[in-house]
Structure 1
Amino acid sequence: MDNNFGVYVHIPFCKQKCFYCDFPSFAGRERFIDSYLAALGRELELAAEKYGEQGRLKPATVYVGGGTPSLLDLKQMEKLFLAINKYIDLALVDEFTIEANPGTLGSDKLGLVKEIGVNRLSIGVQSLNDNCLKKIGRIHTAQEAVESVRLAQEKGFDNISIDLMYGLPGQTMETLKASVEKALTLDVQHISIYGLQLEEGTVFSRQQEMGKLQLPDDEQVEMMYDYITEVLPLNGYTRYEISNYALPGFESKHNCLYWQDVSYLGFGAGAHSYWQGSRYENPADIERYIGRISSGEILGCMEEQVGEKEHMEEFCFLGLRMTSGINKEKFKEVFNKDIHEVFGEPIREMKDKDLLEETSTSLRLTKLGMKYGNVVFGEFILEN
């Protein structure tokens, strides 16, 4: 079996749920951590028997996300990494990432993850303005975020990603610029940029329904977007995906697997897997997940075979997220059809509107297309 697939491990525990977050993550459930880690170890064992060689999985990338993986104490982290190391052949893993949040990241934890072989950190900074951080429900200050990055660098991490958000409550063009400028002094290798999305069931969506959420207007948000997309490339960060910028050679290999239609296995509550054309989803509820895994079930409470129509749509959505675009030859290889046979009309329309450009090998979003990506993606939905 070739090892061109990714493994995602979900840690769904948080100290406090951020006001914008709709991920399967939970505050105040720390009492379940130990039994959850035991279930996670069991799920990895079952998957290694089914998908591995000699009882071990052999992926190209491993990504431990959340939630807040760095919320685990040292003993719990050791338990997690012992299971990962037992059922995953880390010698073959090219990129091993863990997400961490300032305020939960200390020298001992950084030392432990470095020792186990983690070679990439993704630190959830979100903003370097204390007022913004408070308004979005973060538990850390801007100074703690800076200190977390510096501490990681002192521990020898040389592949660090940070997240930044724009369009936040109370955020102005001035506070955004100050945050980005401060972030640029941190000398990290990767920056992910996200505009605030109001998701159903979050604190922010409830605040909006009650008329209590004051956000920058559309014009301000567009100015913020324009500023970020101009300033990062000027500072050496190449945009390689709609929301992601990296110094050369530091693109997220794990996330690139998702965007390039490659298989991945997800472990933990609410984790998703996409394996050889089938999709699986684990129960999001922590107790239900623990119960299902304890009874010996593997990978997912829902199985769905991805049909050709949906596969073609997703192939295009995901490909267009990358600045390299859709590989036309790969489309033909996978579906035995020329992309123009299937999407000829939307391609012509999007090119006419300067949202899409075509080369001999690819179809990709223009600079304007990157800004209005959702408009383009909508055109690649096939009618039944």
Structure 2
Amino acid sequence: MTDTKPGLYIHVPFCREKCLYCDFYSALYSETLADSYISVILNELQGLNQRFSSIYIGGGTPSILNLDLLDKLLSGLKKFITPGMEFTIEANPESVDSEKLKLFLDKGVNRISMGVQSFDDKKLKLLGRIHDAKGAMDAIELSKKSGFGNISIDMIFGSSGEDLKAWQLELEKAAGCAARHISCYSLSYEKGTPLFRMREKNRIVALDDDVLAEMYGYTMSYLPSKGFDHYEVSNFSKPGFECAHNLNYWDNLPYIGLGPSAVSYIDGTRSENVRDVEEYIDRYVKGVSLITYSENLSGIRMARETSAVKIRTRQGIDYDWFKNKTGFDFEDTLEKGILDELSKDALLEYKIDELTREKRGIMLTEKGFLFSDTVSSAFL
């Protein structure tokens, strides 16, 4: 085991309904199935003895669990909580109430991530969300009133028929609410989702790339003007409210994932669990491995993956940091001419030492943030 404390992720795969755009693994909520599943997770937690850098309960919809199951799950995590640790739980507006919020806080959760996605009722319906805009704002305010000082919200832009003005109005509401962290994602049409099929049948029309770029460009200027630091491609936060758990991912540090479809990355080995909650339970009961895929990464592969995720952050890649972490000189991990090509396209800029004028790192330009996937792919 590496000396670096891993992050801990727990997947709660249950949802009341599947959103039309979502391709994450989830299952329709059944209290009986959820009870069996949480029992398995608690048994797994009992077998873990190491310390963690952060805890993140995601989904699915963790807040869909009843109060008793939430109490059991959070109580099982008590031994891992250390002073100052970030402990996040995801929640949806329609499944949180004052009792659950109080329980979260009493059990050590100090950060809540609310699946808002939009403050526009028509757009929420198009996305297949089951809450409305008022419910989203009420849930945020209730979280604040209950005692949460670290509230994050997810937002989606680029839905069919949306324009820049509509997105501007949503961002005003997002920046004006109690959230201290805002994640903004461009809507993607993932193969196999209902939204993808609707687009294929011309029932909806995807927005042009130039409209999406305009929306994202506005986001990059507007949220910082309201005090939110743009610290990663899709993430904005008030100072000190960056997501520590995600920073762990972007530094390519280790993490352990529990639950169906959850991924772990320890000592250069990446593994993924079976993607079905009932099979997950069955395998655990029978003592069969929960892992369906595993790969050992070479040193150069780990180095390249580190660069591909780290470049997504505002600070970019510091050459000394990269060498210390991976053992490789950054430019030696790339195909010849890649940096010059990306710089020529104004996607990257060098970090220059003010005294020596030497190159000490690389970072995305404003244009580069628009094409971050292109840059990351080039680094791999």
Alignment TM-score > 0.5, same fold = yes
Q: Deviations over 1:46-85 (max 9, x none)?
A: 3x1xxx2xxxx31010000000000011011112112222
Aligned 8 A contact 1:162 1:190 in 2: yes
Q: What do you get for the CA RMSD once the two structures are aligned? A: 1.6
Select the residue among 300, 317, 325 that pairs with 2:291: 300
Q: Find out whether 1:272 has 2:273 as its counterpart.
A: no
Find the counterpart in structure 2 of residue 380 from structure 1: 379
Equivalent position of 2:55 in the other structure: 62
Contact 2:26 2:59 in 1 (8 A): yes
Partner of 1:90: 81
Letter in 1 for 2:34: I
Determine the structure 2 residue equivalent to 1:349.
341
* Offset from partner CA, 1:310-343 (integer Å, 9 cap, x none): 2122111111111111231232234433222232
Alignment check: 8 A CA contact 2:87 2:110 kept: yes
Aligned with 1:219 (options 194, 210, 215): 210
Query: Is the alpha carbon distance of 1:175 and 1:25 closer, same or farther for their aligned partners in structure 2, counting shifts above 3 Å?
Result: same
Which amino acid in structure 1 is aligned with residue 25 of structure 2? P
Q: What does the per-residue CA deviation read over 1:71-104, in whole Å, with 9 as the maximum and x for residues that have no partner? A: 011011112112222xx42125610000000010
Q: Which amino acid aligns with 1:348?
A: D
- Following superposition of structure 1 onto structure 2, how do residues 101-120 of structure 1 map, counting pairs within 5 Å? 101-120=92-111
Matched with 2:368 is 369
1:191 partner SS: strand
Map 1:240-255 → 2, pairs under 5 A:
240-255=231-246
**Structure-1 separation of matches of 2:289 and 2:142:** 38
Tell me the SS of whatever aligns to 2:94: coil
* Secondary structure of residue in 2 paired with 1:354: coil
Count of aligned pairs between the two proteins: 371
What letter is aligned with 2:162? Q
Q: TM-score under structure 1 normalisation?
A: 0.93
Q: Which amino acid aligns with 2:201?
A: M
* In structure 1, distance between residues paired with 2:29 and 2:52: 33
Q: Which amino acid aligns with 1:211?
A: N
On the 8 A contact 2:300/2:333 being kept in 1, the answer is no
Asked if 2 retains the 8 angstrom alpha-carbon contact of 1:131 and 1:170, the reply is no
Q: Which amino acid aligns with 1:15?
A: R
Q: Secondary structure at the match of 1:321?
A: coil
**Which 5+ residue runs of structure 2 have no aligned equivalent?**
352-358
C-alpha separation between the residues in 1 aligned to 2:180 and 2:315? 20
Which amino acid in 1 is paired with 2:28? A
Give me the whole-angstrom Cα distance separating, in 1, the residues matched to 2:121 and 2:234: 23
Distance 1:236 1:8 in 2: 29
Please tell me whether residue 43 in structure 1 is matched to residue 35 in structure 2.
no
User: Does residue 148 in structure 1 map to residue 147 in structure 2?
Assistant: no
TM-score, structure 2 as length reference: 0.94
Q: Distance between the aligned counterparts of 1:134 and 1:349, measured in 2?
A: 43
Aligned with residue 68 of structure 2, among 67, 75, 81: 75
| CA distance in 1 between partners of 2:201 and 2:21 (Å) | 16
Rounded to whole Å, the distance in 2 between the matches of 1:90 and 1:335 is 29
Q: Is the 8 A contact 1:207 1:213 kept in 2?
A: yes
**Cα distance per residue 1:204-241 (max 9 Å; x no partner):** 11112222122333232222112111100100001110
- Which amino acid in the other structure matches residue 367 of structure 1? E
Distance 2:286 2:322 in 1: 41
What is the distance in 2 between the residues matched to 1:101 and 1:144? 10
Counterpart secondary structure, 2:291: coil
Q: What is the percentage of aligned positions where both structures have the same residue? A: 37
Match of 1:99 among 66, 90, 94: 90
2:55 aligned partner, one-letter code: V
2:227 maps to what in 1? 236
| DSSP-derived class of the 1:125 partner | strand
Aligned residue type for 2:239: P
Equivalent residue letter for 2:331: H
1:303 partner SS: strand
The corresponding residue for 2:175 is 184
Give the letter for the 1:358 counterpart: Y
Q: Match for residue 8 of structure 2?
A: 7
1:24-39 aligned at under 5 Å gives the runs 24-39=25-40
Measured after TM superposition, the shift of residue 274 of structure 1 is 0.2
TM-superposed CA distance for 1:174, in Å, is: 2.3
Aligned to 1:200: 191
Give 2:356's aligned residue: none
Question: What CA distance in whole angstroms lies between the structure 1 residues aligned with 2:297 and 2:198?
Answer: 37
Amino acid at match of 2:378: E
1:299: Cα distance to partner?
A: 5.7
CA contact (8 A) 1:319 1:327 kept: no
